[in-house]
Structure 1
Amino acid sequence: MGLENATKIMNYVTEAGKEYICVMQVHCDIEKDLLKSIIEKFKGKIYQRPPVRSSVKRRLRFRTVNEIELLETYNRMALLRISSEPGTYMRKICHDAGILLGCGAHMRELRRIRSGIFTEKNLVTLQEVSEALYMWKSCKDEEDLRKILIPMEMAFCGIPKIVIDDNAVDAIAYGASVMIPGIVAFQNFKKGDLVGILTLKGEAVAVGIALVDSKNLSSLEKGEAIKPKRVLIQKDLYPRSWK
């Protein structure tokens, strides 16, 4: 959940890689070694058509499964850990695995344990949020609330970043592109990559699309480097140095 300007980057968080714990029920008795070999066939790029009950069109598409692991089995139940790109249907993997096994299978349970850089360790319950909010409003005690709220800059951990000079911040707040002379430091990125833009203090300025490769920045003296896609910083927070 995002608050205020952080809502602007929640879409990028949901588009990051996912990791799941999945319970699959096989419709026949099967040896563990055979089941493991079938499951491992789903690692890498796979074809996948969304299930009948889904929120998207049922078009055949590519999806990448980064990791798939058979953790344990019990009778006809199999516990799987799957790491994949967003938009991959775990229940379809279970269904397709059942087809390869020859007897069918379906997903019984699913739990997401990671979205981007955020894992179950970052989770808090709505009850904890409610109690922390009560303590802040009624008792002026913000200790619990500070434990729950995290800076939106944390969402930048999964993408390459650049640091810009303070004189360039306000221009970008008004929608200007990041010009090469205004870049102070940068991580490696390629043309077309999503890039996080930070101030010298580490404040989130915007997220944008790279117009050049980072390896070319050192040899360039002028021109556009990043085209902002979503501006996060408040206008006129930094001194205006543009006309």
Structure 2
Amino acid sequence: MTKQILEHNKTYIAVFRFKNDVEQEALENVLKQLSGRIYNVPPEISAVRVQVRTRKIHDFSILDQSSKHLVARIRCEAGTYIRTMARDMGLLLDQPVELKELRREDSGRFNLDHCVELHEIADAIWLWKECNDGEALMRMLHPTEKLLTDLPRIVVKDSAVAALAHGAPLLRPGLVSIPDDLTSGQNVLVTSIKGEAVCFVKVNTDSESITKMERGEIARPSAVLMSDDVYPRRW
């Protein structure tokens, strides 16, 4: 599930500093060149292997600027290194460009409004443990399903949930609904009728073929999310 979360688009507010004055026209031209599908090689000091790769920049817009500073909003594909974009800006402008500040505004469905301070978490845990008051802690916690709302999903009958939670394959009779554009080999979220996340499955065939089936295996779980004792066994 971590992989699914990390693949969400991100939005950043970045502050860049230029060594020399930059003309407006030159700056706007650079921002256009660094929008869309671009090369984004990770810095030498990074959490991933340094290799040539591409990332999509959905938006690179100016929020504020002076002759030597730029405040910009960058909405980008997961895995984009903003430090690399600062370096590339410098290459295009033929001068050093420094990334002075960087703040992430959102990741997928979560934004700054969902953030809490560490001391707030500590206080909430203390209230829960010492006073048996879990209200503050519950306000900070979000259900797993909230992380997965933008993923394609298969809805299954209650009778199929327990089997999937035990790692059994998904069979055609257990289906309630499927997306119209499933492809063979695709990883898809499976939920109960109530919207509970059950597991991720790797689909064996496409949507058109599934609709023509009356029985048989549709997919196999690749990761089980639900405890196997939530729904009663039906076999």
**TM-score, normalised by the number of residues in structure 2:** 0.91
Cα pair distance change 1:70/1:162, threshold 3 Å: same
SS in 1 for 2:84: helix
SS in 2 for 1:157: coil
Q: Output the CA distance in 2 between the equivalents of 1:210 and 1:33.
A: 50
Cα pair distance change 1:27/1:150, threshold 3 Å: same
SS in 2 for 1:28: coil
Does the 8 Å contact 2:23/2:67 carry over to 1? no
Indicate whether 1:199 and 2:192 are aligned.
yes
Give the drift of 1:189. 4.3
Q: Output the CA distance in 1 between the equivalents of 2:114 and 2:121.
A: 13
**TM-score, normalised by the number of residues in structure 1:** 0.88
**What is the 5 A alignment of 1:111-122?**
111-122=103-114
Give the drift of 1:216. 4.2
Residue in structure 2 matched with residue 129 of structure 1 by the alignment: 121
* 1:179-237 deviation line (CA, Å, top 9, x unaligned): 22211123344324432111122221112233333354323323333332110111143
SS in 2 for 1:63: strand
SS in 1 for 2:83: helix
Does the 8 Å contact 1:207/1:228 carry over to 2? yes
Structure 2 gap ranges (5+): none
Q: CA RMSD in A?
A: 1.8
Give the drift of 1:104. 2.5
Q: Output the CA distance in 2 between the equivalents of 1:54 and 1:223.
A: 46
Give the drift of 1:129. 1.0
Residue in structure 2 matched with residue 25 of structure 1 by the alignment: 17
Q: Output the CA distance in 2 between the equivalents of 1:107 and 1:209.
A: 41
Q: Output the CA distance in 1 between the equivalents of 2:178 and 2:5.
A: 21
Does the 8 Å contact 1:117/1:155 carry over to 2? yes
Residue in structure 2 matched with residue 11 of structure 1 by the alignment: 3
Indicate whether 1:46 and 2:7 are aligned.
no
Indicate whether 1:152 and 2:144 are aligned.
yes
Hey, which bits of structure 1, 4+ residues long, moved more than 4 A?
Answer: none
Q: Output the CA distance in 2 between the equivalents of 1:97 and 1:146.
A: 44
Give the drift of 1:116. 1.8
Q: Which amino acid aligns with 2:18?
A: V
Q: Which amino acid aligns with 2:214?
A: E
Cα pair distance change 1:79/1:150, threshold 3 Å: same
Give the drift of 1:43. 1.4
